[in-house]
Amino acid sequence: MRFHVLGLPHTVSSKVFLACAYTQKVVKFAKMMTERGHEVIHYGHEESDLQCTEHVTVLTSADWKQSYGDYDWRKHFFKFDVNDYAYRTFYANAIAEVGKRKRKNDFILPFWGSGTRPVCDAHPDLICVEPGIGYAGGHWARFKIFESYAIYHAFCGMSAVGTCKQDWYEAVIPNYFDPEDFTFCDKAEKDDYFLFLGRVTEGKGIHIAMQVTEAIGAKLIIAGQSSLKEIGYKTVPAHVIEYGYADVAARKRLMSKAKAAFVASMYVEPFGGVQIECLFSGTPTITTDWGSFTENNIHGLTGYRCRTFEQFVWAAKNIDNIEPTVCRDFALRNFSLDKVAGMYEEYFTGVLHVYNSKGWYETNAARSDLSALEKYYPPAKAPKSVDMDAVEAEQGEFARRIGKWFRRLLGDNKVGVNVGSHPGAVYANGLVEAGVRMDSVDSIDDIVASNNYSLTTVIEVMNHIDTRHTDRLLAKLVESMPANGVLLWSAAQPGNGGQDQINLQEQSYWLSKLTAAGLRHCPDTQGHLATEIKNGSLMGWFLQNFLLFQKPGTVVEVAETTYAPTEAVDVPIADADEASATVDTSATAEDVEVVDTSTTVDTSTTAEDVEAVDTSTTAEDVEAVDTSATVETGTSSQAFP
């Protein structure tokens, strides 16, 4: 392929002009595509310094100085006018020189957009592609490449949401970087400062960087065009160091040594090249949560995206959570010259098909992949090891109260199994302390059905398991439970905190799933446990998430009345130590939690005094009676629930 690459009239195509992102695109593109064997002809300032097939001078130093004199662009923002002498000279000479060299199906690339449009308009026979749109206006070429989906979607506008008007040849290809331009530093090599590198303006979030670092007592180095004084600050805060313009060597050093960099653009950032440059250096970035940062700052892995001052402060305080090697790897695998060159070649090949073959419908029998649009994402962090001592200190007393409640519920059938480790292990320990023998298994698949566990606890397990396994595991769970076995279930819901939550579902989802799998929900007994939970130290997540189920058993015959185990008994449950208590007619439900099979109930006792099962009970009054329970007149069973 042949490319006519137009430089910028008010800069020089070299690394000296690091402050101009579009100039650097010209320099890097020329190297990238020349090294891939393409022909790159560059048109620009006579002092241009870049790798290309041919450099053509269209602007001399004298021409440039006539427009800009001794203006110090390092201390101030760039100054230019598309009607000034430098621009007019560039246009005239470039139009002529391109005309001498152009061939059929050559590409002409205006990296400065409409700033060099007159040269493109003079050669309508060339294929004009805007190759890296990061500017807010002046888009005109038939073929357009945007540097992020953020600016592409902004260009499309809200009307594109309701109207089918997308163009196959408006594509997204990110900015690209030469890894040789950066030095990597790991944590041990970092210095104790935060960095702001870029145009010194509040639009770039300089005020956020200063306020946050002041709040945490950290040092901030500011490097870039302009100064705090120039944008209205009367003094430089004590914790801030103004470096000024950073050349190639200084920029490399500052980025690599910083513990983190602030790139808190206040507008929809089209790309924010410095954010990726910092990642190449192994430096995490703290950004706003919009624009290209939503694509390129992987929250919690390459840095943090923030929306409030408190979030920015937290991010800065916790920046050591981010690994420099992850930052570097993400940058290398997505934004290096080698990676992005293939994306450009894929795009330009498709455009050429419009001119010399079947266009959009052109086939490619030799294609072996679609890797051009592949993007590498760092793997999720391994979960932090759980400090079980801390969990026990926080939840132990609560778990012991639940353990005692289940001991009363289970009666003599004190054998259970816990699935998973944290936090279920803490609650299993609570049950053990209460006198319930608890086995532990790593997964539902490991439950041994022949052990006839009267209690199975699955606490905050399924929210960590892919939904593809849900139905199979629930079927296995129900199969492993004996008739009348009890299930204590808890799973995190949407909005709950925690790590590695990949299957967050509403409580109603699990209720439906477990019921469909063959279990009976026991809302009344669940309510009794909820009441118990509220009478002491409280784990709010448990109260919000837990459910109680029983696996139906056989039908129980009692005094000519048939009780279906699919119904639930709404009875309180007595402590085993009180099993021999005698309840008289003055007893109330608050005085007696449960009446054991050995308890004698006076014939004058009413249902309001003691919720017991007698011969007058009907199926509507009773939700379920355990098949192991013997029910006599005036006597309550310890049936579940």
Q: Tell which wins on pLDDT, 533 or 153.
A: 153
524-572 pLDDT, tens digit each: 999 888 888 777 655 677 788 899 999 998 433 323 323 233 333 333 3
Strand 240-244 versus strand 220-223 pairing type = parallel
**CA distance to 41, 52, 78, 198, 284, per residue, from 244 (Å):** 34, 31, 15, 10, 22
C-alpha–C-alpha distance, residues 485 and 520, integer Å: 10
Q: Which range, 38-42, 396-400, 581-585, is most confident?
A: 38-42
- Neighbouring residues of 450: CB distance < 8 A, sequence distance ≥ 6: none
Could you give all domains of the chain from N- to C-terminal order, each with its CATH number?
2-172 (3.40.50), 179-334 (3.40.50.2000), 388-550 (3.40.50.150), 553-641 (no CATH)
The pTM assigned to this predicted structure is 0.65
C-alpha–C-alpha distance, residues 221 and 241, integer Å: 5
Mean per-residue pLDDT, 183-202: 96
- Neighbouring residues of 271: CB distance < 8 A, sequence distance ≥ 6: 21, 134, 147, 148, 151, 174, 175, 292, 296
C-alpha–C-alpha distance, residues 620 and 613, integer Å: 12
pLDDT at 384 (0 to 100)? 57
Q: Is the pLDDT of residue 623 over 80?
A: no
User: What are 170's two structure tokens?
Assistant: 């408006």
333 class by beta-carbon count within 10 Å (0-12 exposed, 13-18 middle, 19+ buried)? middle
Answer yes or no: are the C-beta atoms of 544 and 492 closer than 8 Å.
no
Return the H-helix or E-strand segment holding 275.
Answer: helix 273-280
360-386 pLDDT, tens digit each: 999 999 999 999 999 999 988 765 554
3-state helix, strand, coil in the chain (%, to 5): 40, 15, 45
Measured in degrees and rounded to the nearest 5, phi and psi for residue 335 equal: -130, 10
% of the chain residues with pLDDT over 70: 82
279-332 pLDDT, tens digit each: 999 999 999 999 999 999 999 999 999 999 999 999 999 999 999 999 999 999
C-alpha–C-alpha distance, residues 618 and 629, integer Å: 17
382-440 pLDDT, tens digit each: 655 545 565 556 677 777 888 888 888 887 767 888 887 666 677 778 788 888 888 88
Q: Is the pLDDT of residue 617 over 50?
A: no
**CA distance to 392, 460, 470, 550, 571, per residue, from 417 (Å):** 19, 15, 20, 15, 25
User: What are 8's two structure tokens?
Assistant: 């910028």
pLDDT band at 574 (very low <50, low <70, confident <90, very high): very low
User: What are 318's two structure tokens?
Assistant: 């916790």
3-state SS class at 137: coil
% of the chain residues with pLDDT over 90: 65
CA-based nearest residue to 334, from 283, 373, 363: 373
